[in-house]
Amino acid sequence: MMLKKKNIKINGDTIFKYAIGSSVVVLIMLIVGIFVSLIVYSYPTIAKFGFGFISGHTWDPVTEEFGAYPFLIGTLITSFIALILSFPVSIMISILLSEYLKSGVIHNYVKSSVELLAGIPSIIYGFWGLFIFVPVVREVQMYFGITPYGIGILTASLILSVMIIPYSATIAYEVISLTPSEIKEAAYSLGATHFEVIRKVILPYSSSGIVAGVLLSLGRALGETMAVTMVIGNSHILPDTLFAPGNTMASVIANEFTEATSDVYLSALIEIGLLLMIVTAFINVVGKMIIKKFSVGMS
Amino acid sequence: MKKTLSIILLSAMVMGITFTAKAVELVGAGATFPYPLYSKMFDTYYQLKKVKVNYQSIGSGGGIKQLLSKTVHFGASDAVMEDEEKAKAGIKVHHIPTCFGADAITFNLPGVTKMNLTPDLIADIFLGKITSWDDKRIAKVNPKIKFPKMPIVVVRRSDGSGTTYIFSDYLCKISSEWESKVGRGKSLNWPVGIGGKGNEGVSGLVKQTPGSIAYVELIYAIGNKMPVASVQNLSGNFVYPSIQSVSESANIELPDNTEVSITNTNAKNGYPISSFTWILVYDDLSVLKMKDDEAKAMMNMLWWMIHDGQKLVKPLHYAPLSPAAVKKAEGLLKSVKLNGKNILK
């Protein structure tokens, strides 16, 4: 190295700089490494089925014909229904905590219960769903005269929506709390009611943060495995109604990986993993664009 | 109190040190179905001979994979290795039977605790061709039972498993339609029904879904006191699944390598959805670079499993090997070598 001696100073600053630099490098290498190894190990099916892997409707391990379309649809439907159901609830919780119950025993109680929801292991959600929630859904199905499976796409979406509430709610709460009191007071001084301040000042101000929280919860919903596997019915047939059993990409991998012995089968499961990663990345990129658009609109 | 505890801990440590210096440790992996039995057997054997066996129940497929990558001393499987897998092994892999397992057909039907099923009925129910419990064909073989008008909900395993393999192997033998439409395997492309993960997932769904029917491991059905159906075997008898009738199913001419599926057995009183479960051992243990004492310890242990170890089988609701099967297993164990020399005399 041709560096002058005075430039090499080993002090806290330099060490810290290299430490953060190297952790970033490690992180990027990890992501790239995972991506590359997924591609390498799924190459046999990529070569064999090509695009047919995504558009194919048949998943038959016996004849080794693999099409992941039903699982792709299952993942997207359950995640988005969960998102639609959980979004209003999380927004209301965060507004309640930041605007109406700003402190006190109830505030702390509600806030920690929401945070606790995120800490419950997904297997617990799964068992709770299977033994407590599914019978309720079954009663409803019997009332409407639908085949009373109890489990299925809708049940999985409902469980998922509960599971992802804490992610969007806590982030929304944090950003709403960050709204400067000056602009809120300015709105009040112009005669705005509390509701109008929330609707026209606070929500627009914190919209990008709220979207970020929604994205995080969507990511969680897309990849959730255990709880979904237990209540979705694990059927390889494309669901025709919301009550029908279906399957998601993550739960197919969890179910079939241990006993997948043939090379093509294993490769097909790894390709599902690759597909799941691409879908998640794609949704993240789209979300970032939405956030950017919102922020521009603000300024 | 504290003192006794520390003495116990200390002596345990000392014992640990002395044993690790001498004791042989064997590693195996595979089928989950015989896991309760194997862990009991290995524990008992450790008390007897101080040979430690570390068995990981990761599933039959996983066990075969581990054996082929030579990371374990023995594998365990509920299904015979496929030709592709055998080719990968390079040398012969012996299938040593250790006990029998069976799939029981369980159901949840209000007011019904037992029923008879014929092979045709089972195939048509699981193909989705019979959709209601009040179907005339079900009533015909169950004249005394009044079936409610209720849709049939088929429940099956969603995870790959030897249990599914045995069941689909049976269906392939009794129904050509099943064989051409679905086939046999640890995971299938099911025409109907909902999937539960593991025996516990399936039984959980069956217990709370009126009108459901499913297959589970027999020991699981007995342990959970679930109602099971009698199945008509090849001789025309309706056989209730029990340890007795499962053992009976191997009362047939066995090939020397025991690599045979005994589903749809022609044994007169045998339960037709039964199967061996095997331990997989390389023909020459030198491929695993095993030492003399390790190889000897493992073969002695396997020998014990098919003889004295069989006493442990029944109390755990598994079906013990028939004398004919033990004879064949003995022959297989005797043929295992290390560097070309037979280990057991």
Both A61 and A113 in one domain: the answer is yes
The residue ranges of every structural domain in chain B are 23-101+275-342, 102-252+260-274
- pLDDT of B5 reads 58
Mean per-residue pLDDT, A19-48: 94
Give contacts of B151 with chain A, Cβ < 8 Å: 147
According to DSSP, residue A67 is labeled -
Q: What are phi and psi of B94, to 5 degrees?
A: -85, 140
Total structural domains within chain A: 2
Task: Give the pair of three-digit tokens for residue A243.
Answer: 């009550």
* Co-location of A97 and A232 in the same domain: yes
Tokens of A105: 């025993």
Residue A32 predicted with pLDDT over 90: yes
Contacts of A32 (CB under 8 A, 6+ apart): none
B102-252+260-274 CATH, one of 3.40.190.10, 3.90.440.10, 2.40.50.140, 3.40.50.300: 3.40.190.10
Residues B260-288, mean pLDDT to the nearest whole number: 91
Chain mean position to CA B170: 14
Distance between CA atoms of residues A70 and A68, nearest Å: 6
Calculate the dihedral angle through the C-alpha atoms of A242, A248, A252, A253, rounding to the nearest 10 degrees: -170
pLDDT band at B201 (very low <50, low <70, confident <90, very high): confident
User: CA–CA separation, A112 vs A176, rounded Å?
Assistant: 17
Chain A, chain B: beta-carbon pairs less than 8 Å apart? 98
Range in A168-182, B2-16, B272-286 the model is least confident about = B2-16
- The C-alpha of A57 sits at a distance from chain B's nearest C-alpha, in angstroms, of 11
Tell me what pLDDT residue B4 has: 62
Q: With an 8 Å Cβ cutoff, is B83 touching chain A? A: no
Give the CA radius of gyration of chain A. 24
The CA distance from A141 to A155, in Å, is: 11
Rounded Cα distance, B100 and A246, in Å:
34
Dump pLDDT digits (tens) for A98-129: 989 888 899 999 999 999 998 999 999 998 99
Count Cα atoms within 13 angstroms, Cβ side, for A75.
26
pLDDT over 60 (residue B39): yes
Q: What is the mean pLDDT of chain B?
A: 89
Which percentage of chain A shows pLDDT scores above 70? Answer: 95
> Six-digit token pair at A193?
């009611």
- pLDDT digit string, tens, across residues B87-130: 988 899 999 999 998 999 999 999 899 999 999 999 999 999 99
% chain B with pLDDT above 70: 94
Does residue A2 surpass a pLDDT of 70?
no
- Tracing tokens 């209003």 back to the chain, one arrives at A88
Chain A interface includes B62 (CB < 8 A)? yes
Alpha carbon distance A126, A124 (integer Å): 5
- Judge contact between B273 and B292, C-beta under 8 A: no
pLDDT at A178 over 80: yes
Instruction: Compute the distance between CA of residue A164 and CA of residue B7 in angstroms, rounded to an integer.
Output: 50
- Identify the domain containing residue A271 by its residue range: 46-298
CB neighbours of A59 closer than 8 A, spacing ≥ 6?
A65, A66, A67, A68, A70, A71, A236, A252, B189
- The answer to whether the CB atoms of B187 and A61 lie below 8 A apart is yes
Token pair 């589970």 is found at: B216
**B286 reaches A (C-beta below 8 A):** no
pLDDT of residue B83: 87
E strands, chain A, are 59-60, 65-66
A11, A71: one domain: no
Mean pLDDT for chain A? 89
> A285 with A204, same domain?
yes
Residue A70 near residue A239 (C-beta atoms within 8 A): yes
Residue with token string 């919860």: A217
Token pair for B299 = 């073969």
Q: Backbone phi, then psi, for B262, in 5-degree steps? A: -100, 15
Residue A131 has pLDDT above 50, yes or no: yes
* Displacement of CA B135 from its chain's centroid (Å): 33
The stretch B322-343 carries a mean pLDDT of: 90
Q: Quote the ipTM score.
A: 0.81
Query: What pLDDT is attached to residue A24?
Result: 94
| Same domain assignment for residues A89 and A119 | yes
Q: Which amino acid is at B34?
A: P
Task: Please check whether residues A278 and A245 belong to one and the same domain.
Answer: yes
**Same domain, residue pair A237 and A139:** yes
A197-231 pLDDT, tens digit per residue, is: 999 999 988 988 898 899 889 999 999 999 999 99
Q: Are A256 and A228 contained in the same domain?
A: yes
Q: Which residues contact A148 (CB under 8 A, 6 or more apart)?
A: A138, A141, A142, B153, B209, B210, B211
Question: Would you say residue B76 has pLDDT above 90?
Answer: yes
Residue B3 in this model has a pLDDT that exceeds 90: no
Nearest to A258 among B160, B190, B205 (CB): B160
Per-residue pLDDT, B60: 86
The class (CATH top level) of B23-101+275-342 is: alpha beta
Please state, as a whole number, how many other Cβ atoms lie within 10 Å of the Cβ of residue A72: 19
Does the structure show a pLDDT above 80 at B273?
yes
In the predicted structure, residue B329 carries a pLDDT above the cut 90: yes
User: A137 with A272, same domain?
Assistant: yes
Q: Chain A contact for B58, CB < 8 A?
A: yes
- Which strand (E) or helix (H) includes residue B214? strand B212-217
Query: What is the structure's pLDDT at B54?
Result: 93
pLDDT tens digits, A249-279: 999 999 998 888 788 999 999 999 999 999 9
Question: What residues contact residue A143 under an 8 Å CB cut-off, 6+ apart?
Answer: none
Alpha-carbon gap, residue A235 to B36, rounded angstroms: 30
Biggest CA–CA distance in chain A, Å, is 83
Q: Do A255 and B58 touch (CB under 8 A)?
A: no
Q: When comparing pLDDT for A84 and B266, which is higher?
A: A84
pTM score > 0.90 for this model?
Answer: no
Which residues from chain A sit within 8 angstroms of residue B184, using beta carbons?
A: 62
pLDDT at A192: 92
* pLDDT beyond 50 at B66: yes
Contact A140, A129 (CB under 8 A): no
Q: Is A261 in contact with B158 (Cβ distance < 8 A)?
A: no
Residue A20 has pLDDT above 50, yes or no: yes
Asked if the C-beta of B180 comes within 8 angstroms of chain A's C-beta atoms, the answer is no
Give residue-wise pLDDT tens across range B294-327: 899 999 999 999 999 999 998 888 899 988 889 9
* A71 to chain B, closest Cα gap in Å: 13
Sign of CA dihedral A96, A102, A103, A104: negative
pLDDT range class, residue A296, cuts 50, 70, 90: low
CATH of the domain at A246: 1.10.3720.10
Say whether B151 and A255 touch across the interface (CB within 8 A). no
Q: How confident is the model at residue B198 (pLDDT cuts 50, 70, 90)?
A: confident
Q: One-letter amino acid identity for B163?
A: T
A30 and A63 in one domain?
A: no
- At residue B6 the predicted structure's pLDDT band, cuts being 50, 70 and 90, is low
Region for B193 from its dihedrals, namely left if φ exceeds 0, alpha if ψ lies in -120 to 50, beta otherwise:
left
Decide if B209 and A149 are in contact by the 8 Å CB cutoff.
yes
Q: Tell whether A217 and A124 lie within a shared domain.
A: yes
Q: Are residues A36 and A135 located together in one domain of the fold?
A: no
Distance CA A83, CA A210 (A): 13
Instruction: Over range B201-218, report the average pLDDT.
Output: 91
Nearest chain B CA: its distance from A80 CA (Å): 23
Return the half-sphere exposure (C-beta side, CA atoms, 13 A cut-off) of residue A110.
Answer: 19
For the record, the structure tokens of A211 come out as 């979207």
* Residue A299, pLDDT score: 43
Least Cα distance to B213 among B340, B108, B124 occurs for B108
Chain A residue with CA closest to B209: the answer is A149
How far is residue B295's CA from residue A42's CA, in Å, rounded to a whole number? 38
